[in-house]
Amino acid sequence: TIAEELFNQNHSKYEGCCFLAVNEDLRRQGMTSLKEKLFSSLLGEDVKIHTPNGLSNYIEKRIGRKKVLIVLDDV
């Protein structure tokens, strides 16, 4: 898709990046799994989300310092 090509051309300019096919992943795995995949990709480490509506202070501080590219495809 066009979104995927633009992502591939620009992802190297960012400290963290993630391309998610939202509709497909959400249907198969659920929202918590989708959030874990997003933050794991952005931080470069395995992230577990324990509350569906919040993030730990650790994740918020790490993400807040990064320039990231997030593409949500098929929303």
pLDDT (tens digit, 9 = 90+) per residue, 1-55?
A: 788 899 999 999 999 999 988 887 788 888 888 888 989 999 989 988 877 777 8
Token duo for residue 68: 């990231």
Q: Tokens 């992802």 map to which residue?
A: 11
pLDDT computed for residue 73 by the predictor: 85
With a threshold of 0.85, does the pTM exceed it? no
**Can you tell me the distance from the alpha carbon of 8 to that of 45, in angstroms, rounded to the nearest whole number?**
21
Predicted pLDDT at 42: 92
Of 62, 38, 65, the C-alpha closest to 49 is: 38
Using CA atoms, how far apart are residues 51 and 73, in angstroms rounded to an integer? Answer: 24
